[in-house]
Amino acid sequence: MATILSDSPVKTAHKKNRGKTSVHSDQLAILGGPKAVPDGLVKKWPPIDDIDREMVMASLNGANHAFGPNCQAFEKEFASWNGNRFAITTNSGTAALHMGLAACGLSAGDQVIVTSYSWSSSATCILHHNCIPVFVDIDFDTINIDVDKIEAAITPATKAIVVVHLHGLAVNMEKVMAIARKHNLKVIEDACQSHGAEFKGKKVGTWGDCGAFSFNQNKCLCSGEGGMFVTDNEDILQKARQIWSFGETRTPSESRDYHAYALGWMYRNNDLTAAFGRAQLGKLTRYLEIERANAQVLLRRIRGLKGLIPPTEPPNHLHTYYNFTCRIDMKEAGWTGDPSRFRHAVMKALQSEGAQTGIWQSFMLPHMTVFQAKNAYGRGCPWSCPNAAKVDYNPLQFPAAQRHVDTHFGMTMPLRAPNGPDVAEKVGDAFQKVFGNIRQLDPNLILGKE
pLDDT given at position 217: 94
Q: Which is higher by pLDDT, 259 or 84? A: 84
pLDDT given at position 13: 36
Looking at residue 1, its amino acid is M
Residue 7 has pLDDT above 90, yes or no: no
pTM of the predicted model over 0.85? yes
In three-state secondary structure terms, 239 is helix
pLDDT given at position 263: 83
What does the radius of gyration of the chain's CA atoms come to, in whole angstroms?
24
Range of the domain at 232: 50-280
Model pLDDT for residues 180-222, shown as the tens digit of each residue: 999 999 999 999 999 999 999 999 999 999 999 999 999 999 9
Query: Span 317-346, mean pLDDT?
Result: 97
Q: Which residues, 6+ apart, have CB-to-CB distance to 315 below 8 Å?
A: none
CA 449 to chain centre: 31
Quick check: is 107 in a domain? Answer: yes
Percent of the chain at pLDDT above 90?
A: 85
Residue 89 has pLDDT above 50, yes or no: yes
Query: Span 398-404, mean pLDDT?
Result: 98
Q: What is the DSSP string of 218-235?
A: TSSS-SSS-EEEEES-HH
pLDDT given at position 1: 36
Confidence bin at 261 (pLDDT 50/70/90): confident
Model pLDDT for residues 122-148, shown as the tens digit of each residue: 999 999 999 999 999 999 999 999 999
In angstroms, rounded to a whole number, what is the distance separating the alpha carbons of residues 249 and 330? 56
CATH (domain of 242): 3.40.640.10
Confidence bin at 262 (pLDDT 50/70/90): confident
Residue 175 has pLDDT above 70, yes or no: yes
In contact, 194 and 204? CB cutoff 8 Å:
yes
- Which range, of 99-103, 196-200, 249-253, 348-352, averages the lowest pLDDT? 249-253
Q: Which residues, 6+ apart, have CB-to-CB distance to 296 below 8 Å?
A: none
Residue 259 has pLDDT above 90, yes or no: no
CA 97 to chain centre: 14
Model pLDDT for residues 146-174, shown as the tens digit of each residue: 999 999 999 999 999 999 999 999 999 99
Total domain count, the chain: 1
In angstroms, rounded to a whole number, what is the distance separating the alpha carbons of residues 199 and 191? 13
Sign of the dihedral defined by the CA atoms of residues 243, 246, 250, 251, in that order: negative
Quick check: is 86 in a domain? Answer: yes
Quick check: is 185 in a domain? Answer: yes
pLDDT given at position 308: 98
Dihedral over alpha carbons 224, 131, 139, 439 (to 10 degrees) = 60
Confidence bin at 9 (pLDDT 50/70/90): very low
Confidence bin at 25 (pLDDT 50/70/90): low
Quick check: is 229 in a domain? Answer: yes
Quick check: is 345 in a domain? Answer: no
Question: How is residue 36 annotated by DSSP?
Answer: S
Quick check: is 356 in a domain? Answer: no
pLDDT given at position 398: 98
Task: State how far the alpha carbon of 107 is from the alpha carbons of 330, 334, 391, in Å.
Answer: 44, 50, 17
Quick check: is 263 in a domain? Answer: yes
Quick check: is 309 in a domain? Answer: no
Q: What is the pairing mode between strands 198-199 and 317-318? A: antiparallel
